[in-house]
Structure 1
């Protein structure tokens, strides 16, 4: 028995096949780029500094402010906890080097989210009778950076940032 193999006819590559493959390849590349651009634009929360150049120019001023802050020798403590209503209550105590509450100051408190500036929240504080400051806000659980700017006569005299955990 003579079995003759019939040659398998190979598929011919035509201009139409090349055009379809070419268009399909670049169509996939364009779709992936469109998805990645949309994901990047919708999830980008912003920058830490609006202008790095201006921040660099202000460096000497910040350095002098840090030295003046260290000379004050204040004890600043911020605590955050949930109340029975579920709101986050922030309590800030500011004492001088003798342990006496500092008078004549205003405190600007912000809870800064470490991953998204869109979630940052200001916490309005009021001065209590014991010299501490207290305020509350609806804030999601998680890690936050507590940023406190303490001002006297409209000028910042003290700045502190610390990581806090809110349950």
Structure 2
């Protein structure tokens, strides 16, 4: 009799997986997923006003001008490289080397460097670089913290419309 009693106890503790059980588990699983998605959608819509820029129309009109300027820059085939390196405890040196399509140094440019932190509300640091050697421009920047920086370079040539713009991510060490 003990074997029959053990078999009955074992039969009572085992639960069979039926179609109804699988259906309830599936409904429960997807209900949790839908509720989580609904919460995330609500939070996203609540936190984003939908306005990317206040001047969308003007930005759209200026877009074709930006494309044309980019094509003109590519046609000039200038090579402008910028770097930033530590020059003392808190100072840094911004250096730019500019060459034309033939590899000859470009002289007489007005070179402006704008340093800004990525994803930071800090005001950017704008520096006008001075030409030292032919085609090499540099400037010192005081109180520049170590870390990641975005270096925007703008070089304007002697002729009307000659311009070079670039954006580089640089790292300034301690």
- Give the 3 Å change call, closer, same or farther, for CA 106–70 of structure 1 in structure 2: same
Q: Please point out which of 66, 77, 93 is paired with 2:81.
A: 77
Residue 103 of structure 1: CA displacement? 2.1
Correspondence for 1:152: 157
Query: In structure 2, what is the Cα distance between the partners aligned to 1:135 and 1:51?
Result: 34
Correspondence for 2:18: none
| Equivalent residues, number | 121
Q: For 1:119, what is the secondary structure of its paired residue?
A: coil
Matched, 1:58 2:62: yes
Query: In structure 2, what is the Cα distance between the partners aligned to 1:81 and 1:105?
Result: 22
- Give the 3 Å change call, closer, same or farther, for CA 103–123 of structure 1 in structure 2: same
Matched, 1:133 2:137: yes
Instruction: After the TM superposition, list the runs of 4 or more consecutive aligned residues in structure 1 that deviate by more than 4 angstroms.
Output: 153-156
TM-score of the pair, normalised by structure 1: 0.65
Deviations 1:130-153 (A, max 9, x none): 320000112111111100111124
Residue 110 of structure 1: CA displacement? 0.3
Matched, 1:103 2:101: no
Map residues 14-53 of structure 1 onto 2, 5 A cutoff: 51-53=55-57
Tell whether the 8 Å contact from 2:149 to 2:171 is kept in structure 1 after alignment. Answer: yes
Deviations 1:75-134 (A, max 9, x none): 111111011353010000010111111123211110021112423111231110232000
Larger Rg: 2
Query: Which runs of 5 or more structure 1 residues have no equivalent in the other structure?
Result: 1-47
Q: From the two aligned structures, give the one with the greater helix fraction.
A: 2
Tell whether the 8 Å contact from 1:144 to 1:165 is kept in structure 2 after alignment. Answer: yes
Residue 157 of structure 1: CA displacement? 1.3
Correspondence for 2:90: 86
Tell whether the 8 Å contact from 1:109 to 1:148 is kept in structure 2 after alignment. Answer: yes
Residue 56 of structure 1: CA displacement? 1.4
